[in-house]
Amino acid sequence: MSLIKHITVKPWETKGIIGPLRPEGAFAAAPEKVALVIFLGIATILFSLFTVGYFIRMELPDWRPLTDPAQLWLNTGLLVISSVLFQRARNIVNSDQQKNVMPAFIGGGVFAILFIAGQMMAWNTLQANGYYVNSNPANSFFYLLTGLHALHLLGGLWVWSKSSIRLLSGSEAQEIRLSIELCTLYWHFLLVVWVILFALLANT
Query: Would 23 be classed as within a structural domain?
Result: no
CA distances for 61 relative to 138, 160, 204, angstroms:
11, 44, 14
Query: Would 122 be classed as within a structural domain?
Result: yes
Query: Would 117 be classed as within a structural domain?
Result: yes
Tell whether pTM > 0.95.
Answer: no
Sign of CA dihedral 81, 74, 163, 23: negative
Measured CA to CA, the distance from residue 6 to residue 147 in angstroms comes to: 66
pLDDT in tens, 95-144: 877 788 999 999 999 999 999 999 999 999 999 888 888 888 999 999 99
In this structure, what CATH number is given to the domain that contains residue 161?
Answer: 1.20.120.80
On the question of pLDDT at 13 being above 90, the answer is no
Q: Which residues of 78-113 are buried (b: 16+ CB within 10 A; e: fewer)?
A: bbebbbbbbbbbbebbeeeeeeebeebbbbbbbbbb
Total count of domains within the chain: 1
Query: Would 15 be classed as within a structural domain?
Result: no
Domain that holds residue 196: 30-202
Specify the pLDDT at position 189: 97
Query: Would 112 be classed as within a structural domain?
Result: yes
